Amino acid sequence: MIENLTKLLPQEEPKYENPLDKEYVLRINHLKTYYFTSRGAVKAVDDVTVWLKRGESLGLAGESGCGKTTLASSILNMITPPGRVVSGEVWVDGIDVTKLREEELRREVRWKKVSMVFQGSMNALNPVYRVGFQMAEPLMYHYGIEQEDALEVVKKYLELVGLSPAVAERYPHELSGGMKQRVVIAMALILNPPLIIADEPTTALDVVVQAQIMNLLKRIKNETKKSFIFITHDLSILSEVSDNVLVMYGGKMVEWGTGDDIYLNPQHPYTQKLISAIPRVHVDVDHLEYIPGVPPDLISPPSGCRFHPRCPYAMEKCKHEEPPIFRVGKKHFVACWLYEKEGERVADLQKLLEEEGL
């Protein structure tokens, strides 16, 4: 159905200078994004490299404050002061967004190349405009489509997300939380971007509506050739929708692999703890697992491995030396000293990806 919808928009044949961009919708290389405060720099994303193939999905996992949302905002180059991208590259559909000015980002990248369903974004709808007009606006702004024609496109997208076309005539306060979230998802799709980021898309919804929204996202992902990034602290949700999972801790990547690698064979002690903390409905448990301690202060993070104060396997070396990335499977990487012997040390993940195209 979405293929038919995209034909409603003017078609542009993308041209890629780097052949890698034909295969990868997103290439993040050695990204550092910091927030500069009077106490010092908060290293929210600190040297993260991750790539995403077209049509695949990536789940970002980790506790609150681990850098997931900052990483996602960096993809749109939408970091608010006092934060900024300090170094690194973010290639989205063949464009390095870190090099663009605000006006270029608005015209060329946001919503056209990558769109975002924000945390609690159902509150982002403007209360004084009808839903249809708010959805039609990007079509009018980016493609110069007449309002009447844009509204026809809007109605088709409302149907795609399971809403009646009549919703276009309503104001946001006339919709339930779940309906508003569907509207926001339809808005994220309307300019046909190759990449969509869903940041905690089910926050503030009750569990039944949460399941409906996740099923909707799963259906859209399966029906389209779009790439998705799902952000949540709930690994059980990611397991259903993500082909690949990146686990972050204290602004660093600690493990990256396919969904099966992460769920069936987690290697990093932090990932293992996160997975064991998922409550299981059909298993009798005496107590719920949790990760003792608190996430690190990112102004002055712990020396060595940032997880060492909370890690049950911490060794002396972990306190002083930052663990490099070790390869423990074809596309399975882990930053932990436990794999020094059996893993293959990766000197530069970007280079390895360029050579092997994983």
What would the 3-class secondary structure string for 278-289 be?
CCCCCCCCCCCC
Q: What is the largest CA-CA distance in the chain?
A: 67
Smaller CB separation from ligand SF4, 217 or 328:
328
- β-sheet bridge partners, residue 195: 114, 227
132 vs 346: CA distance, rounded Å = 50
Instruction: Name the minimum Å distance from CB 43 to ligand SF4.
Output: 17
Beta carbon nearer to ligand SF4, 180 or 252: 252
Q: How far is the CB of 294 from ligand SF4 (least distance, A)?
A: 16
Q: Which is nearer to ligand SF4, 57 or 267 (CB)?
A: 267
Dist. CA 334–CA 325, nearest whole Å: 6
Closest approach of Cβ 115 to ligand SF4, in Å?
A: 35
Where in 3-32 is the site for ligand SF4 (CB under 6 A)? none
Tokens for 267, please give them. 């290697």
Q: Tell me how far, at minimum, the Cβ of 316 lies from ligand SF4, in Å.
A: 10
Residue 190 has a CB neighbour count (10 Å cut-off) of: 25
Which among 127, 128, 151 has a CA at the least distance from the CA of 138? 151
Residues within window 239-258 making contact with ligand SF4, judged by CB under 6 A: none
* Residues in region 298-337 near ligand SF4 by CB under 6 A: 305, 307-308, 311, 313-315, 318, 323, 336-337
Residues 6+ apart with CB under 8 A from 234: 278
What is the token pair recorded at 310? Answer: 């909370």
In the complex, the smallest distance separating the C-beta of residue 276 from ligand SF4, rounded to whole angstroms, is 15
Q: Which is nearer to ligand SF4, 112 or 308 (CB)?
A: 308
User: By CB under 6 A, how many residues form the interface with ligand SF4?
Assistant: 14
Written as six digits, the tokens of 337 are 């000293």
Task: Supply the minimum distance, in Å, between the C-beta of residue 247 and ligand SF4.
Answer: 11
Residue 98, SS3? Answer: helix
With respect to ligand SF4, which residue has the nearer C-beta, 168 or 318?
A: 318
The torsion angles phi and psi of 43, rounded to 5 degrees, stand at -90, 80
- If the CB atoms of residues 226 and 310 are measured against ligand SF4, the closer one turns out to be 310
Q: Could you list the residues that contact ligand SF4 (CB under 6 A)?
A: 268-269, 305, 307-308, 311, 313-315, 318, 323, 336-338
